[in-house]
Structure 1
């Protein structure tokens, strides 16, 4: 892992082997809208958008299903005449419709429909990057790459990217694209943070070798690296384990963290060590975690998914200082990577169950 010195949100970086130059921090907009029972209303969403753009940010990330489409709709209203200076990426559909075996995100008949919906909501005639959100192993990859290439040639998208997909599948797709003269994946998005460093084993080396941009998602591990759960235990004067037993998991974030196994003693111990380093340099744990990511040359951009403008302001404050090499080493040592399981080995079977739900597809070849 190598590090570089960047301290401005407008220190733009080339995204893979493209002519797109993006901010080291990308504005994530999954919180734009209250349709899911949490998130920001229109006014607060606009404050976050304006704050990010005024600081020089130019990279926007959304998805057609975020807050049931409200995220894209808000962005379409906010972007206006700023369209030419912003790099806008959206993902296409994630979940299936119950009982419909052909409704998963990689079903080709859904791809163009999803794109047209996104274009309409975003009030634009093109999208810079169209991301496959989760790979579903049901459609031949040759068909997926062919249709993506057709959409690129139509001018409605400039580039295609992929997220939450194993390295071998991404490499397979790009090998087919190169052989056929089709549009390859130019970037990859996966979770990467001080708690989850699995991407270092294969995703990041693959991205470097194939000249793809690497975009880190969930940089604060669902809020765990902010220290808020540790602080809750301190405020109640109880142990972390007791706090875990008592925590209210009816909130969307806590419930998700519990469901995917993030909220555990091991991860809270990592957060506690990060809090101590942050205290020593008079910064918040979130800022230290983000600065650690900011200085890694392997990372093109990191998605910030704040729910309030105050949170976003704090996160953007991570560009106002630089960890020195000793401090970087201290952070790195909190949870060093290892050579264990590859990225996705522990999650993809669970993701497939969620995506396909009741629409089971039988593979007759096995």
Structure 2
């Protein structure tokens, strides 16, 4: 099974499953998700299949996700066998400006609350959830390093942040001897490929693993939704959140439906569920360490768990890649093979093995370059 193969995160020695169990759906506080019994069954199935990587956040279902994870881990005496990742940033006390963000004050308060909800003495991987456009990386990295020294967290992660911020944070950590950033957690799927421009090369250059969220584009790539004149037809998170201000759920575009149609064709060719094919494609892209899978029903989890148990033929991978290619904007147009050939005088120039840029360039090389 795919869950019995483990990858290390960044430069750390921490071994994690290539598919992580996302628990944003643990609890019904947001109008969608799984009640406790169903969540426990999903958790147990993931563990029984060999999975060891659990992802949550203090924001998820008003803290109930962390509580459920803590209870489920304790019930099976799994604390030393599982890797728990959780996050801070979001405000749970409206009107109090210091009850959210990435300041030292909020981080130290948030970690204590997460430890209590999880029922543990330490967190394996602690993420800054979202850039607050305010707190300097010096303050964030010093605070997280202090928590490492105190034994409250073991590894540091950054999520939903600009590439320049990650680069500066890692450089500060290297220079000052702080705990390094081991992992970035970013949205990535066939319909959202923008991290390929900066984050994947950054991670490969600076030794930071990339952990993917929303690989199925909030369920769009699962095949359970269809376009309609009124928006989206289907039941689930994407339909429930339709029209919200959260851009993560804004997937109803003509481009995206064309990608869904291509995915459906490829899935029929390889005789696999659409969700499995979409996950397989993401997990096997350059620089990806682990992919978060979430489910509210057991059959969804089963489709997800077998995502790495087959190979997609090269021509079909190319078909998916071409159908989902993002628009190349400035300055990235200057890094395309045709422009780069003007720098090399037509000579063949290699890239680092297994690098993102080699993946891009070799497949698109013009003749004679």
- Shift of residue 228, structure 1, vs aligned partner: 1.8
Question: Deviation digits for residues 213-270 of structure 1, max 9, x if unmatched?
Answer: 100110000111112223xxxxxxxxx4xx1415479965325354423112221111
Q: Which runs of 5+ in 1 are unaligned?
A: 1-6, 231-239, 344-366
- Shift of residue 206, structure 1, vs aligned partner: 0.4
Aligned 8 A contact 1:119 1:125 in 2: yes
Superposition map of 1:32-181 within 5 A: 32-80=26-74, 81-95=77-91, 97-181=93-177
- Shift of residue 280, structure 1, vs aligned partner: 1.8
Superposition map of 1:281-360 within 5 A: 281-340=270-329
- Shift of residue 339, structure 1, vs aligned partner: 2.9
Q: Is 46-55 or 257-266 further displaced after alignment?
A: 257-266
The TM-score normalised by the length of structure 2 is 0.84
Aligned 8 A contact 1:207 1:214 in 2: yes
Instruction: Write the distance in 2 (CA, Å) between the matches of 1:342 and 1:20.
Output: 36
User: What is the number of equivalent residue pairs in this alignment?
Assistant: 326
Superposed CA RMSD in Å reads 2.0
Question: Deviation digits for residues 100-127 of structure 1, max 9, x if unmatched?
Answer: 3333221221211111111111111111
Q: Is 2:265 the counterpart of 1:276?
A: yes
Which residue is equivalent to 1:212? 208
Cα–Cα, structure 1 residues 265 and 166, in superposed 2: closer, same or farther, change >3 Å?
A: same
- Shift of residue 96, structure 1, vs aligned partner: 6.3
Which residue is equivalent to 2:20? 26
- 1:245 corresponds, among 206, 230, 234, to 230
Instruction: Write the distance in 2 (CA, Å) between the matches of 1:257 and 1:188.
Output: 27
Cα–Cα, structure 1 residues 224 and 249, in superposed 2: closer, same or farther, change >3 Å?
A: closer
Instruction: Write the distance in 2 (CA, Å) between the matches of 1:335 and 1:46.
Output: 35
Which residue is equivalent to 1:264? 253
Q: Is 2:250 the counterpart of 1:254?
A: no
The TM-score normalised by the length of structure 1 is 0.84
